[in-house]
Amino acid sequence: MGYAASGYPTLRIIPNSRAEPDFLGWEMKVFSSDRITLMTPEPDGGMYGEQGVKAFVREYGHPTKDDTLYFTGIHRADCRNEKTGLTLAVRGFNPARKVIEDVEGAVELLNDAGHCAAAWSFADLMIGWNKKHAQAAYVPYESEKELAPAYRYFSPTLLGEGTDFNRYLAALCAGRVIFDPGSKVMNASAAKSTVKARSQFRMSVRNLSELYQKFGPVEF
């Protein structure tokens, strides 16, 4: 059982947000439910890239009674999200052939007029995915919070080896990888509102094998 003062599970490995693996060439992921977060890259294009997260959430977020604007909701490729009015599109990738046909392509959120609200360039995503996730270990855990936060880890661990960016884009186009954001603007009506950015791409654990050449459980 491991303990984390921050309230997050730990394997006594210091996590990092850099485009590098966490430990000895392996990216470490923990999960307690079926859905797991793969990456949390911020958009580098579209309105979001040009004006920032606060302007984006003010435009496409929805209000709540506590004076907070939220940008949430599951976005799947080629499906319009009714809450945000945005459609996730993968431009420059051929899902039938599973190849990139335009290196200047991007993952985009488009509004009903076809304008790009946010974009993640292939170049930026590819570096982060291939370098950080070439080898990944997915570790199941459960938590207990009656006293101090405590975490128990289980075997088997799921190990994935030999990924590439085309596999990631193919899973995104197939709706296996989803965009599931959690950004918000707090005290939205105040002169000094605060913002939290959370752009996350997620996937069901049962579909993780689609991302790797070799994938399976290993007992520890």
Helix segments in the chain, DSSP class H = 46-51, 53-60, 122-132, 165-173
The closest alpha carbon to 159, from 97, 211, 81, 91, belongs to 211
CA distance 54 to 208: 32
Mean of the per-residue pLDDT values of the chain: 89
CA distance 158 to 139: 7
Alpha-carbon torsion (9, 10, 16, 22), positive or negative: negative
CA distance 35 to 37: 7
- Residue 17 binned pLDDT confidence (cut-offs 50, 70, 90): low
Q: How many Cβ atoms are within 10 Å of 86's Cβ, its own excluded? A: 22
* pLDDT greater than 80 at residue 16: no
Report pLDDT for 150: 82
User: What is the mean pLDDT of the segment spanning 173-200?
Assistant: 96
* pLDDT greater than 90 at residue 214: yes
Cross-strand pairs, 191 = none
User: What is the mean pLDDT of the segment spanning 110-132?
Assistant: 95
CA distance 207 to 201: 14
Q: pLDDT for 38-70, tens place per residue?
A: 999 999 999 999 999 999 999 999 999 899 999
CATH of the domain at 103: 3.30.70.3570
Predicted TM-score (pTM) of this structure: 0.87
* pLDDT greater than 60 at residue 202: yes
* pLDDT greater than 50 at residue 1: no
* pLDDT greater than 60 at residue 97: yes
CA distance 71 to 195: 11
- Residue 14 binned pLDDT confidence (cut-offs 50, 70, 90): low
What residues contact 212, with CB distance under 8 A and at least 6 apart? Answer: 136, 160, 161, 162, 163, 167
* pLDDT greater than 90 at residue 163: yes
Containing structural domain, residue 41: 2-218
Overall domain count for the chain: 1
* pLDDT greater than 50 at residue 117: yes
- Residue 15 binned pLDDT confidence (cut-offs 50, 70, 90): low
Report pLDDT for 4: 40
Report pLDDT for 130: 87
Buried b (16+ CB within 10 A) or exposed e, 1-10: eeeeeeeebb
Report pLDDT for 134: 85
- Residue 86 binned pLDDT confidence (cut-offs 50, 70, 90): very high
Report pLDDT for 143: 83
Q: Which helix (H) or strand (E) holds 63?
A: strand 62-63
- Residue 6 binned pLDDT confidence (cut-offs 50, 70, 90): very low
Report pLDDT for 26: 85
CA 134 vs CA 10, 59, 140: distances in Å? 21, 36, 20
% helix, strand, coil for the chain, step of 5: 20, 40, 45
